[in-house]
A and B are shown apart, each in its own frame.
Chain A
Amino acid sequence: GAGVSQSPRYKVAKRGQDVALRCDPISGHVSLFWYQQALGQGPEFLTYFQNEAQLDKSGLPSDRFFAERPEGSVSTLKIQRTQQEDSAVYLCASSPGSNEQFFGPGTRLTVL
């Protein structure tokens, strides 16, 4: 079956613009995670959903970051008033409820 998909794959934004990143998890996966990965670093946890409920958002770096999963499937990560330090790869992962996570290809965000 299809894996986790993310769109867009690449996004260039001017500083101060808002961006929205989309994640389509594997069908039936109840858990969905967002991570931020800077160059040469491991993924940093941002937030976690179980179905439509956002159970942990402790990793969101500021109130400019917002995530939602209104119907328990597709999720959107929104970043308002982007800053240069937001430049990174944003990874989405889904899980059937076990500990195993399956990652999407990521969205590479570049803020100029």
Chain B
Amino acid sequence: QKEVEQNSGPLSVPEGAIASLNCTYSDRGSQSFFWYRQYSGKSPELIMFIYSNGDKEDGRFTAQLNKASQYVSLLIRDSQPSDSATYLCAVNRRNGQNFVFGPGTRLSVLP
């Protein structure tokens, strides 16, 4: 079992819809969780991070964390074609600065 798992996609949604991206992790002691966006040929850029159970909203983005289920998700409301990218889930292992990334989910927003 990989430490951080994501569906590779592609996930296709129509413009204006809600895109839901999911991530599971295996280390129950993980402390912090991150979502990065990576456009093709570019480097990852941080969208959001979340530390506590529940929801965290930032503009059109909402991160959701459920530590009991070892599950973190990212919702993108009013999806735009410019949101088309690969979304990487990253987890900070306990007691350190060793980050584990998932393989990424490719999102395609269709105009």
| 9-residue interface stretch from A13-21, A65-73, A75-83, A98-106 | A98-106
Q: In whole angstroms, how far apart are the Cα atoms of A35 and B36 in the complex?
A: 14
- Encode B71-111 as 1/0 by CB contact (under 8 A) with A: 00000000000000000101010001111111110000000
- Assess whether B46 is interfacial by the CB under 8 Å rule: yes
Cα distance, A58 to B102, chains bound together (Å): 18
Interface SS majority for chain B: strand
Are the C-beta atoms of B88 and A45 separated by less than 8 Å? no
Size category of the B interface is 20 to 34
- Size of interface on A: residues with Cβ below 8 Å to B: 25
Cross-chain contact of A33 among B4, B46, B97 (Cβ < 8 A): B97
0/1 per residue, A18-44, Cβ < 8 Å to B? 000000000000010101000011111
A106 adjacent to B99 (CB under 8 Å): no
A68 to B49, CA, bound (A): 29
For residue B34, which residues in chain A have a CB less than 8 angstroms away from its CB? Answer: 99-100
CB distance from A104 to the nearest CB of B (A): 6
- Whether B49 and A99, one on each chain, are in contact in the complex, defined by CB atoms closer than 8 angstroms, is yes
Contact (Cβ within 8 A) B88 A42: yes
Q: Which residues of A contact B (CB under 8 A)?
A: 31, 33, 35, 40-45, 48, 50, 55-56, 58-59, 91, 95, 99-106
- Chain B contact residues, CB within 8 Å of chain A: 4, 8, 32, 34, 42-46, 49, 88, 90, 92, 96-104
